[in-house]
Each structure stands twice: as C-alpha cells, then as structure tokens.
A = this chain, B = another copy of it.
C-alpha cells in the first residue's frame, strides 16, 4: 500500500510522520472511556516527572470522535469504547500505527472496569487467562463467514510483575484470576435487570458460581480479542481491571460517583507504578 489511512484514528501515513510522532512509544495503555484515558495521561505525566502542573494534553485523534489518544514521553493512552468489535478496530489500527512508527519492545496493558465474582468491590484483577462465556480460553473470530478459534493467552511473567507492583503499592486488594469476556452486558453476563430477561435468579447464580469454580474472578467485554490480537502480533500484553461490584450480590452499579471514581484510579495506579519501575524511576 502506498498510503495507509487509519480511518478510526483520523491519522494516515500520507499525512502524518508516524516515526517522529510515535517512534519512542514503549507502553500503550488502553481503556474504554476517553475521559479516563485522558486522566491517565495526566496522572502518568506527573508520576514520570514529564509534564508541567496543569498541562493539557491534546487529543491526537481530534479529527474523529471514534477514539481518543494521548501521549507523554514513552506512554501512549488510547480509548477503545465498549465491546469486542470496538476494541478490535482500535487494536488493528494501533498495531499498524506501531508498525509504521518502527516501535520496538512495546508493552500493551488494558486498564478497565469489570464486574467481580466473589471479590470485594474495588478489588483489582490481573487476568491470567481470558475465557469465553463457556469458560474456555479462546476467542472465536469469523473470517470470510467461517469461525476461526484463536488463543487468548497473556504474558504470565508480565502478570506476575504487575502483581508484585500491587504488593509494593499495598493500597487495595489485587488477585490474579481468569477474566470472562462476553459480547453483552445484560443477558450475556446473566444480569436480571436488562430490558429482556428470560431466566430467573437461581439460574443466574448457578451460572456465576460455575464461572467462579472455573477460576473466573471478573467479567468484562474486551479481553479476549485484546489477548488474541496481541498474541498474533507478538506484543507483550496484560489486562488489569477493577471490579465495580460483586455480581454474586447484585447487578446494578449503585456505588456513589466518588467511590466509583476512586475504584477506577486503582488500575491506573498499579500500571503507573509498573511503568515507573520499568523506567527506573521507583
């Protein structure tokens, strides 16, 4: 291809100098919400001593509202919206961006939110394996109308390093566990409070307990394709999500705004500490 247009980033090799813009990137942090990813770049800039106080970081993808992207030093922060299709589009374009920019030794970490199973709300889960709705560590990708099964393995060593960081911070409960990745938030996660619900509470609890027994400690909607695409691209990857509620006790996210905001900072703190440590700044 002569030029490559990364349509959903509103960036292109014909219009942007990728090696100059992104060549020094070593850490990419991704998360669903654009405002959370903006908050993360401000936080990490301060932690790394790279930003001035009150600095505003421009959105590199200002030409579109599909995703938001921010950068400071070797850290790129990108939003991915909700669900497998949304993060998959972002990852295809991100992997191409890193390739065109001639980046090397990049680590990609998803910092997200999730529903916990059998954990105190606010606990952080570092994903050991991303499993599907039948608890299998696989991702089904449909290509030319045929289903292809892909591995959802993540980097064991990286998960252990992140766990060690949580011990060093010692501010919140963190576990390594399996993460169930679903295509739906309501029926797909056995919630009783969707617009449609054709099962009862007993069936819900039976399903969630079976998930727990299969090693699942949290449920979210992006980790499987994230693991699969990072695997195929040979990029070191991890998933670090905070749990906003314990699904064995309810379906609605009813904690106060302030409590939820503090929970959402936990994966940022953990990954911020990890990046500082990698850069010899701890």
| Chain A interface residues (CB < 8 Å from chain B) | 1, 4-5, 7-8, 32-35, 63, 65-66, 81-86, 88-89, 91-93, 95-96, 99, 133-135, 141-145, 182-188, 190, 193-196, 198-199, 203-204, 207, 210, 221, 229, 232-233, 252-254, 257
Given contacts A4-B193, A5-B253, A142-B184, contact A82 B86 (CB under 8 A): yes
Given contacts A35-B65, A92-B185, contact A199 B85 (CB under 8 A): no
Closest to A79 in B: B65
Cβ contact of A144, chosen from B81, B86, B88, B190, cutoff 8 A = B190
B83 touches A193 (CB 8 A): no
Q: Which of A8, A195, A233 has the most CB of B within 10 A?
A: A195
CA distance A100 to B198 in the complex (A): 20
Chain B residue numbers with a CB within 8 Å of A81 are 81-83, 86
CA distance A187 to B232 in the complex (A): 13
A-B contact pairs, 27 of them (CB 8 A): A1-B252, A4-B252, A7-B252, A8-B82, A34-B65, A81-B83, A82-B83, A82-B85, A83-B83, A83-B89, A84-B183, A86-B86, A88-B184, A88-B186, A89-B184, A92-B186, A92-B196, A133-B142, A135-B145, A142-B183, A142-B184, A143-B199, A144-B204, A145-B210, A183-B183, A195-B229, A196-B232
Closest to A35 in B: B65
CA distance A83 to B92 in the complex (A): 15
Chain B residue numbers with a CB within 8 Å of A182 are 85, 142
Closest to A141 in B: B187
A144 touches B89 (CB 8 A): no
Chain B residue numbers with a CB within 8 Å of A232 are 196
CA distance A8 to B10 in the complex (A): 26
Closest to A33 in B: B65
Nearest Cβ on chain B to A134's Cβ, whole angstroms: 5
Nearest Cβ on chain B to A116's Cβ, whole angstroms: 15
Closest to A87 in B: B83
Nearest Cβ on chain B to A59's Cβ, whole angstroms: 12
Cβ contact of A195, chosen from B92, B145, B198, B203, cutoff 8 A = B92
Cβ contact of A188, chosen from B33, B82, B141, cutoff 8 A = B141
Chain B residue numbers with a CB within 8 Å of A89 are 82-83, 184-186
Beyond A92-B195, A142-B188, A143-B198, 4 additional contacts (C-beta under 8 Å) are A83-B84, A85-B188, A92-B194, A133-B142
Closest to A37 in B: B65
